[in-house]
Amino acid sequence: MVRRHSRAWSLVALTVATLLVLLGALVARVARPYPGFFVAPDFRVFPSSPAAAAPEWGDRIVSVDGRSPVTLEKRLAPGGPPIRYEIERAGRRVALALAPQPFTWRLLLGHFGVFFAVSAIMLAVGIVVFAQNPRARPNRNFLLYMCLWAVSNVAVPESVLGSGRFAAAVVGFVSVVLSVHEDCHSFRAGSRP
């Protein structure tokens, strides 16, 4: 059975490897400085804790120390001076100065642990459904779907922490593939989107 469905099991192995790489990248951030808030690929802010001087949900970083927001990760230094942010909030510009903070295990587990748990469950469910009848096309499609979702789900934490936008590209790519996969499956089944 394993040999006969080697493409499916290769997909599972690739998914597990990708999940481990993304988990490793996130774990490597522990004890390193981070801004004290999370940043989406479009530089929208997601506060990691309520703080008086922190940016608010939905603020967008316009500049970091007078430079492009792309330089944010390079500006972070342990115990370094506060970073000056210019943010856009409700159509107006606001200036903030915030010192970098250490990224902790508590932040990792509290904010992102659920992403990994859900991905592991999704992958396990995909494997169980596929193993029931590997020859059935719906089961193969379901496994593919669950693998893609598991990778996308685990890429989210790294995409809001890193300025190296690999994880954001993974999230963007997988979401397009998932929507195309769903549209193709619906079309083959005879339904119209």
**pLDDT, tens digit, 9 for 90 and up, residues 159-185:** 777 655 666 666 666 666 666 545 444
Q: How far apart, in whole angstroms, are the C-alpha atoms of residue 33 and residue 164? A: 15
Same structural domain, 94 and 123: no
User: What's the length of the chain?
Assistant: 193
Q: How far apart, in whole angstroms, are the C-alpha atoms of residue 133 and residue 139? A: 7
Same structural domain, 117 and 183: yes
- Rounded to 5 degrees, φ, ψ at 125 are -65, -40
Same structural domain, 111 and 18: yes
**Residue 10 within a domain:** yes
Q: How far apart, in whole angstroms, are the C-alpha atoms of residue 14 and residue 122? A: 15
The total of structural domains in the chain comes to 2
Q: How far apart, in whole angstroms, are the C-alpha atoms of residue 6 and residue 122? A: 20
Of the three residues 78, 101, 124, the one that is the final residue of a domain is 101
Taking the complete model, does pTM exceed 0.85, yes or no?
Answer: no
What is the domain extent for residue 87?
A: 34-101
Q: How far apart, in whole angstroms, are the C-alpha atoms of residue 170 and residue 166? A: 6
- pLDDT above 90 covers a percentage of the chain that reads 33
Same structural domain, 22 and 108: yes
Determine which of 71-80, 102-111, 165-174 has the lowest per-residue pLDDT on average.
Answer: 165-174
